[in-house]
């Protein structure tokens, strides 16, 4: 028996809703959604379920956690005020940007009326004002000094490569070349979280923001830990700085379990369109789910043969896709093999 035409299978429902199949499963696990079942037991999504998914997606885009979405759907809208206030701030920020562009257009038109021809660069900035961040430098060892450039940098940038590919050196060089960038290394975990706690004790406002973000992540399935708090402290300090500083993070997933990694990348994706760029190294398929990479994300691959790093499109058949996929593993596998290196016994 097949499902009626108005019912969609999980893949079709996910595509129509603009979310992943994993997200649909999460909504079901948290009691927000109950798909119908075919006679064979397969999940199908009818009009009511799709309407429910649309409501969930809209609330998530306002910044609500899964737990807060459940509250709203059950009739408790008290958590909406802070989410709407934040959403209003984002919209007003975009309006200010548009007003700035409109003023520049007005000035260019005035110049034209007075017989002054605008420079090509000025016109390009009017058409695409957000593509201002770019970087160019010569590649460090283990490369041979080849020129490397990134233009139109995306909000989320994954740096991937096999062991020994030079990806950490690339990240460090990016942090040196980008304006005011900061490299967040694994030393954030060296003191068991004492450094992060000291920063929070000295800054109550930052503690409040970290606590709020931590609550959001935990409600999305994350496990609270010293590693997660240390990462959030470093991230929020860098992302909320008034300067143009760009965070470059060594092994985003370090010390985080599978569910926490999934919740973390979902949070970063939600922030992505309205925040400064973020670069991070990863070898986790929970952080870099190639099926979920969106328009605000880029994958930078460092090949094993030390040819220059390349941007890889996130779909099968794209140049470099299989090589990127071979560098990724589930968090359970990464945890099992942490610290293990390949070795060859000496000849007898």
Q: Which pLDDT does position 1 carry in this prediction?
A: 43
Q: Where are the alpha helices (DSSP H) in 40-193?
A: 47-61, 66-73, 80-113, 120-127, 167-177
The two structure tokens encoding residue 88: 């209003």
CB 285 within 8 A of CB 158: no
Q: Which pLDDT does position 81 carry in this prediction?
A: 81
The CA-based diameter of the chain, rounded to the nearest angstrom, is 86
- Per-residue pLDDT tens over the stretch 81-112: 877 876 777 677 678 778 878 888 888 888 88
CB 163 within 8 A of CB 341: yes
Residues listed for the chain: 348
- Measured between alpha carbons, how far is 217 from 264 in angstroms, rounded to an integer? 7
The two structure tokens encoding residue 192: 């068991």
- Alpha carbon separation from 322 to 162, 314, 328 (Å, rounded): 12, 10, 10
What are the pLDDT tens digits along the chain (348 aa)? 455 558 899 989 988 887 778 788 889 988 999 999 999 999 999 999 999 999 998 888 787 878 888 889 988 888 788 778 767 776 776 787 788 788 888 888 888 888 888 776 667 666 655 445 688 999 999 999 999 999 888 999 999 999 999 999 999 999 999 887 889 998 888 887 788 888 898 988 888 888 888 888 887 788 889 999 999 998 888 877 655 678 999 999 999 999 899 889 988 887 766 678 899 999 999 999 998 888 889 999 999 999 999 999 998 899 999 999 999 998 888 777 665 544 445 544
Q: Which pLDDT does position 143 carry in this prediction?
A: 96
Q: What are phi and psi of 245, to 5 degrees?
A: -55, 135
Nearest to 233 by CA among 201, 258, 259, 265: 201
For residue 67, give every residue at least 6 positions away whose Cβ sits within 8 Å of its Cβ, in sequence order, or none. Answer: 219
């Amino acid at each position: 028996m097949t499902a009626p035409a108005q019912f969609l299978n999980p893949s079709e429902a996910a595509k129509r809703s603009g979310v992943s199949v994993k997200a649909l499963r999460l909504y079901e696990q948290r009691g927000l959604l109950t798909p119908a079942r075919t006679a064979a037991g397969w999940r199908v999504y009818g009009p009511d379920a799709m309407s429910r998914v649309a409501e969930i997606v809209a609330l998530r885009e306002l910044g609500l956690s899964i737990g807060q979405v459940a509250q709203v759907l059950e009739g408790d809208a008290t958590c909406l005020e802070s989410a709407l206030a934040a959403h209003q701030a984002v919209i007003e920020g975009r309006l200010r940007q548009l007003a700035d562009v409109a003023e520049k257009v007005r000035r260019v038109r005035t110049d034209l009326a007075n017989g002054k021809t605008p420079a090509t660069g000025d016109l390009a900035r009017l058409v695409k004002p957000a593509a201002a961040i770019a970087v160019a430098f010569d590649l460090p060892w283990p490369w041979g000094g080849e020129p490397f450039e990134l233009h139109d940098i995306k909000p989320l940038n994954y740096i991937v490569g096999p062991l020994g590919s030079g990806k950490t050196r690339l990240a460090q060089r990016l942090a040196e070349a980008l304006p005011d960038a900061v490299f967040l290394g694994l030393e954030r975990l060296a003191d068991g979280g004492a450094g992060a706690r000291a920063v929070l004790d000295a800054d109550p406002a930052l503690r409040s923001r970290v606590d709020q973000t931590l609550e959001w992540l935990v409600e999305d399935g994350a496990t609270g830990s010293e590693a997660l708090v240390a990462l959030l402290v470093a991230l929020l300090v860098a992302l909320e700085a008034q300067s143009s500083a760009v965070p470059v993070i060594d092994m985003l997933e370090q010390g985080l379990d599978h569910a926490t990694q999934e919740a973390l990348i979902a949070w970063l994706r939600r922030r992505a369109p309205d925040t400064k760029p973020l670069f991070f190294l990863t070898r986790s398929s929970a952080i870099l789910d190639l099926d979920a990479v969106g328009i605000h994300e880029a994958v930078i691959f460092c090949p094993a043969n030390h040819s220059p790093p390349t941007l890889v499109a996130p779909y099968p058949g794209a140049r470099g896709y299989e090589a990127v996929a071979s560098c990724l593993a589930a968090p359970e596998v990464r945890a099992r093999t942490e610290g293990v290196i390949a070795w060859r016994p000496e000849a007898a």
